[in-house]
Every structure is written in structure tokens, then in C-alpha cells.
A and B are shown apart, each in its own frame.
Chain A
Amino acid sequence: MFDDIKRFEIGSSQQLDWFRQLLDGFLPDGSAMDIRAVPRGSFPMINLARSDDAVRVYVFAAGLAPSDLAIDIQDNVLTLRGKREPAIGSNEDGSSRPVFRRERPSGEFVRAIALPDGLDAERAEAHHAHGVFEIVLPKREELKPRRIDVQAA
């Protein structure tokens, strides 16, 4: 479902720009092929989706237990705070192990994301499974879509 956004983007950029198209052919997916697909500072990654009755936030935070992430909502801004311990124990035996790759971000992080208007933060719920946090923010009753019946004259 989240692929849809990307498909739109590719469609619009390829209309006239043959050079871009050529480059896309050489590098089929720059963001996914790059080793640094996750830029520094953007851990965890967030997806946001909307349904008729709620907005759902998916936080892709591998390696975090439910107690490692603090979720706050204030003025329609969702703030995620936490800390991920580095997997590479440098103090282990006091000796430093040879490291061949270190791509996974670690340490303390804070991320904030603006939410759409009209959400009921009081009824928000969060779940955790397999390193993904799902936050469900129900829409306020008066903002849910409703059908208006046409009355016969």
C-alpha cells in the first residue's frame, strides 16, 4: 500500500525527462540500493496511513522492546523518544573487536511528526510486534465521514 506514493512519483518524473529515465534504468532504486538507505538521525522510520475512522502510525524500530519507546502526543505532534543499545559491545572484555560493517544506528533518538487534524488523542492505542510499533489514533466522532440522505421533496 505504501508503494503507491512511490509509483506516483516515478510516473510524474518520467513524463518528459528522458535523462532521468536513463539514470533510473542504471540505478533501479537509488534509495533502496544505497547502503545508507537510512540517513543518520532518521531512526526509526515512520509510515502514516489513514482509514475512515482512524490514522495509523507504523514505527519501524527493530531491536526496541515495548518499554524502550516513549510515545507522546501534544498539539497534534507525535513525539517518539528512546534509546537503542549498540549491538557492538566495545566495553566487552575491555577489548575492541574488529568491526567490518556498522550500518545500524544506535544511541538515543527523538523523532517528531505532525499528525492530521481532528484526532482523538484520548483514545489512542499502541501495539508492538516484531520490531514494529503500531499507533492507532481514532478520528473524533464529528469528523468521521457520513452519508447525507436526500429527502424527497
Chain B
Amino acid sequence: MNNVVRTATQSPLQERGDIKRTQETLLPAVDIIEEASALKLIADMPGVTRESLKVELDNNVLSLEGEIALNMPEGLSALHAEVRGQRFARRFNLSHEVDSDAITASITNGVVTITLPKKDSHRSRRIDVQAA
């Protein structure tokens, strides 16, 4: 069960060879928790809105991308920057135990929660012991 979710080592943009945009891409911090019937993936993507978030599933690879949508006025110059990028991106390899048709995602205050339900055959269940 330990390799249910493995982080893809390559970012999707690197594969495309788009160097300029790779430098502006941030890796969001994630928590991954296992629950009885699902895996939960929680990612910090501050500044990303429902419209600018893209969650895609392709060939058991879940990719999470989001543009930081701040409406900043014109004529600003940076004094100090800890967030040096305009977008977040990260990819995850999903195990076959995940029911890819039933994945759901939501975003609140810049926190993305993705629920990855397990296939029925992999759910933990309690087996009743019958009296002899």
C-alpha cells in the first residue's frame, strides 16, 4: 500500500522543453492521507482560483496545474519576493487501486482537496464473525 501514490519526478513542463516557463513554475506542498475508502490529496495553491485550476488525469497520471490569479495594479515594482512564479504544477502517478472515474476535486481559500476513491475490491471492510 506504500506506493499507492508516487510523485512523478519530472514536471510536465520539463518534458515539453519549455525552459522559460519551467523557471516560473512552483511546486505546491501536498499532504496525502489514506482514509478507509479513499485517498485524500491536499495541496496549497494560494492565489489559484476555481477558473485557473486545471486537474487532469491521463493514463493514471494526475496532473495539477494552477495559475496564480492576482489582480495587481499597473506600475508595481518588486521590493521583496518569496513567491517567484506565476503558476503551480505537480504530477502524481496513481496506483491502479484508485477508481479514476470517481475522482473529485474542490478548492477553498487556495487549498485544493482531491479525493481519490479506492476501487471496491481494495476497500477495507470488517468481516463479521459468525457464531458457530
Whether chain B is bound by chain A comes out as yes
A47 interfacial contact with B, CB 8 Å = yes
Interface size class of A (residues with CB under 8 A): 35 or more
CA distance A88 to B39 in the complex (A): 12
Say whether, besides A49-B76, A56-B72, A87-B42, A130 and B30 are in contact (CB < 8 Å).
Answer: no
Annotate A91-135 by CB proximity to B: 1 below 8 A, 0 otherwise.
000000111111111000000010010000000000000111010
- In the complex, chain B residues whose CB is within 8 Å of the CB of A37: 26-27, 29
Would A28 and B23 count as touching, CB distance under 8 A?
A: yes
A73 interfacial contact with B, CB 8 Å = no
Would A60 and B14 count as touching, CB distance under 8 A?
A: no
A4 interfacial contact with B, CB 8 Å = yes
Would B78 and A62 count as touching, CB distance under 8 A?
A: no
Contact of B29 among A52, A64, A104, A116 (CB under 8 A): A104
B49 interfacial contact with A, CB 8 Å = yes
- In the complex, chain A residues whose CB is within 8 Å of the CB of B44: 62-63, 104, 131
Contact of B79 among A38, A97, A116, A132 (CB under 8 A): A116
CA distance A21 to B30 in the complex (A): 30
Q: B: which residues have CB within 8 A of A?
A: 1-2, 4-5, 7, 11, 14, 19, 22-27, 29-35, 39, 42, 44-49, 68-70, 72-73, 75-86, 108-111
Q: A: which residues have CB within 8 A of B?
A: 1-6, 28-29, 31-35, 37-38, 42, 44-52, 55-56, 58, 60-65, 87-88, 97-105, 113, 116, 130-132, 134
